[in-house]
A and B are shown apart, each in its own frame.
Chain A
Amino acid sequence: MQDLSFITGWIDNFLSVTCGLAPWLTVTVECVLIGLGLLLLYALLALFYIYFERKVCAFFQCRLGPNRVGPLGLLQSFADMFKMLIKELITLNHADKFLFGLAPFLVILASMLAFAVLPWGNGLQVIDFNIGIFFLLATSSIGVLGILLAGWSSNNKFTLIGALRSGAQMVSYEISISLCVVTMVCLAGTMSVSEIVAEQANGWFIFKGHIPAIIAFLVYIVAGTAETNRGPFDLPEAESELTAGYHTEYSGMHFGFFYLAEYLNLFIIGGVAALLFFGGWMPLHIPGWDGFNAVMDYIPSFLWFLVKAVVITFVMIWFKWTFPRLRIDQLLSFEWKYLMPLSLVNLVLMVIIIATGFHF
């Protein structure tokens, strides 16, 4: 299993020793480099997801999907991005201009911050500290603030209804997500992302934690779909009811930010699921099968992480293109009457299993 921290180590060494920069300057340059790297990754992932979702949904719907721009339509999302970039940002007359402009950046900021703690690969992690997963929960809940602001500041009734729906929905489903994360943290015994991954070296948590882990995973996937405002929980932007919900009034790249953030949140939910249940970047190891484990180790760690995240998000895309949308009261009663009690009971179950040593 190759450790990719040699790359980051080499850059650090190059800057501080070879170039002889002062420590503060080294840190600054590194931060800028990481920021650029993340932005690039962000854009590429969003482009990939736009293409991926369009193709997947097209095949579900007996269509071909994008197939004109580039081979197999591969350049379609690049074309879309450039179109989005050069479109006019329409300013509204009776809107709160400052909040209206701020909202998309808040939304994008939330997903950007969450990127910092994802385990991209062995040694490829932006910050690794002892409350990593807690930090992730905290940052991802900034997003709802952006959505509420967007809906409120647009001075439009549809956006307001969309924003209020989104607020109610995301606050509710955050509870289930947090409880699932706490369940898995109990099993791991740590909140540090790198340690959670390391714990899974001899088996992913979904196998080690068996019944409560599987329940937590199912609840997490459902609540995560709701958290990203995607179908069948896409009420905040229910196009047949509220045209486009909270981002109805946005145009150009401001709209683009919401669009990107939706896909990036999707990826983050997939990534966190991969981290908590499927070992992050950790290859599939089966205790006792040394040959098999060695072969698995040859697959690069970042590939493991990306593929796991994409497979999980594929399931969520599958949801969206299969199910009809819930109604707001059904959505809330589903969370408060079923999902949250279930995840609470599951947490207790997990604690009992850990206390009795019944896990692997």
Chain B
Amino acid sequence: MANLQETVARKFPEVEVAQGETLELNVPDKVWHDLATSLRNDFGYDNLRALIGMDWGEQLGVVYYIVNSTTYDMIRVKVVADGRENPFLHSISDLYAIAGVYEREVYDFYGIKFIGNPDMRRLFLRNDWVGFPFRKDYNADPDVNPVRLDHEEVEDTTVYYEEDPSGKIVEKQRVIFSPEQFVVNIGPQHPATHGVLRLRTAVDGETITKIDLYLGYIHRGIEKLCEAQGYPQTLHYTDRLDYLSAMINRHGLCLCIEKAMGLEIPRRAQVIRVIMDELNRINSHLLAMGTFCMDLGATTMLFYPLRERERILDIFEKTTGARMTFNYNTIGGVMADLHTDFVSDVKALLDVMPKAIKEYNKVFTGNIIARNRMEGVGALSKEDAISYNITGPTARSAGWNYDVRRARPYGIYSELDFTVVTRTGGDSMDRFKARITEMEESCKIIAQLIDKIPEGDICAKVPKIIKLPEGHWFQEVETGKGAFGCYIESTGAAQPYRLKFNSPCLPLAAVVDHLVSGNKIADLITIGGSLDYIVPDIDR
């Protein structure tokens, strides 16, 4: 760490270095690209975890969280753009593959243009949207942006910005699809995209040549909504992001707020949270597995995992009253105490799961057609996983053993005994098998805790109106899909100044083009199913 600080001070004297929650660098835009190159190549900070657009009133800018993929050290970088009228920053999309998509999101919401990003279209909003909604001076008058009932024109070209040697910024055009290409819209209404995801797919016969990701069909502006809500009110949005990891997402936001408040959580609540998280993870993996098999045409294999998933949903329903958006975690603990049947129901589930997993393997995993469809299809390398900021089972099956529960333990995970499931192939079959093994690991975690739920309070005492001190916090949790991050920036008010949900599913969707090109249409479905992205989590 000291080494990094010294080098930065020597090579980039303009950079302000501070030590907060993580090492924090305040970087002027003109040295940012060089510094990023140095960080990535010399110090191993090769995983761009989050890229958060910010409006600090006077200035616009971006906050980067960058992770070292072997030591899991995280640094925070703040880059500020000049002026509000036509702000430009240098892109780092040539260093981090995922930055291309993240920068488009920042452009969409804040209007910051990135020099060197090959594609500067909006990411979520329509092409004809007026203004940049996340700016604090955004005009939200419905007359400016009425509910448009006309069809959105799809553009086959995009603009990008380049700096010529004299330092002047020039706008250039780039063709996405040429008129000769046969472009099929897979989605937004399509059975295999698991939601309203649209993949504009150029095909040559059955072979896919290029995919253009078209997002925003379920964009609800959750982060913007949060800026107008008190902290307890922001919680329920997390259940509606990745609805299959609702418990875990909410746990993440609660942890972030509790960290900012310096709140001590009762032991009972912590144990309950971890058990619920792991049940939720099994639930998420079961559905991912079932729908993946259905995408491959094995409809029957959808129903076997659903049978076990029903048991988990019943357990959730008894305690929380809901089967999907649980609203269970709350700031300081959990909302309600466990149902009296909870322990016996969970034990019954733990008895059933090994048998069920054996059955899944018998019905599907060894099947020759299934193996031919999955093995070697959509192989993701470890370097690509890191560069595309892919986390969760997908990254671990590609050989990157990053698991937030182990790398940056939260709750009581540091006391628990479990294996981080890592595989090496990175293809669809590895992702499928990694999920099955993770379910076994989750069962192991639950088995360690289920007999040791301590008595006590389920929720700490929290004030009626929660105000966070001035500052910023970043908290990650491991959901079923990967690392889910919450970033809060507070000015001391009862509402967050900026609340960013760093979803694990956007990178998963962004990597599809990279994995699919040159494969068959059927492989697109295999790869999409095995990546297991959830569209509301992508769009937010």
Contacts and interface: CB of A to CB of B under 8 A. Distances in A.
Nearest to B370: A324
Given A157-B184, A161-B206, A323-B298, A241 B370 contact: no
A61 interface: yes
A321 B299 contact: yes
B324 to A, nearest CB: 21
A240 B303 contact: no
Interface in A152-174: 157-158, 161, 165
Contact of B520 (A322, A323, A328): A328
A130 to B, nearest CB: 41
B62 interface: no
6 contacts: A61-B303, A232-B297, A238-B297, A323-B369, A324-B296, A325-B373
Interface stretch (B213-221, B411-419, B521-529): B521-529
B369 A63 contact: no
Contact of B294 (A165, A240, A328): A240
A116 to B, nearest CB: 34
Interface in A126-168: 157-158, 161, 165
B156 to A, nearest CB: 16
B294 A327 contact: no
A326 interface: yes
B299 to A, nearest CB: 7
A234 interface: yes
Interface in B496-528: 520-525
B180 to A, nearest CB: 15
Interface in B291-334: 293-304, 307
A217 to B, nearest CB: 20
A62 B297 contact: no
B138 interface: no
Given A62-B304, A161-B184, A327 B299 contact: no
A56 to B, nearest CB: 11
B43 interface: no
Nearest to A325: B297
Contact of A241 (B367, B372, B522): B522
B331 to A, nearest CB: 41
A62 B307 contact: yes
A234 B299 CA distance: 12
A324 to B, nearest CB: 4
A325 B521 contact: no
Contacts of A324: 293, 296-298, 301, 364, 367, 369-370, 373
A80 interface: no
Chain B interface residue number, banded? 20 to 34
Contacts of B129: none
A59 B192 CA distance: 25
Contact of B369 (A161, A232, A238, A329): A232
Contacts of A238: 297, 522
Contacts of A231: 297
A161 B300 contact: no
A62 B206 contact: no
Nearest to B529: A240
B190 interface: yes
B182 interface: yes
A328 B364 CA distance: 20
B191 interface: yes
A358 B185 CA distance: 58
B300 A328 contact: no
Contact of B295 (A63, A232, A240): A240
B520 A321 contact: no
B192 to A, nearest CB: 4
Nearest to B303: A61
Q: Is the interface of B mostly helix, strand, loop or mixed?
A: helix
A165 B203 CA distance: 14
Contacts of B295: 240
A321 to B, nearest CB: 5
A206 to B, nearest CB: 25
A63 B304 CA distance: 11
Contacts of B523: 327
Nearest to A232: B369
A243 interface: yes
A81 interface: no
B300 A240 contact: no
A321 B294 CA distance: 11
Contacts of A321: 299-300
B7 to A, nearest CB: 50
Interface in A219-245: 231-232, 234-235, 238-243
Interface in B176-228: 182, 184-185, 190-192, 203, 206
B184 A158 contact: yes
A57 interface: yes
Contact of A322 (B185, B298, B302, B525): B298
A231 B369 CA distance: 12
Contacts of A328: 206, 520-522
B185 to A, nearest CB: 8
Contacts of A239: 191
A330 B300 contact: no
A292 interface: no
A322 to B, nearest CB: 6
- Which 5 residue pairs of A and B lie closest in terms of their CB atoms, listed nearest first? A325-B297, A324-B298, A324-B296, A61-B303, A240-B192
Contacts of A234: 297
Contacts of A63: 303
A61 B522 contact: no
Given A240-B297, A241-B525, A325-B522, 12 more contacts: A60-B300, A157-B184, A158-B184, A240-B295, A241-B521, A324-B369, A324-B373, A325-B296, A325-B369, A326-B369, A327-B373, A327-B523
Contacts of A161: 184, 203, 206, 521
B91 to A, nearest CB: 34
Interface in A231-280: 231-232, 234-235, 238-243
A243 B299 contact: no
Contacts of B522: 235, 238, 241, 325, 327-328
A323 B299 contact: no
A25 to B, nearest CB: 52
Contact of A243 (B182, B191, B369): B191
Contacts of A330: 369, 372-373
> Which of B185, B293, B303: most chain A Cβ within 10 A?
B303
> Which of B293, B300, B370: most chain A Cβ within 10 A?
B300
Nearest to A244: B191
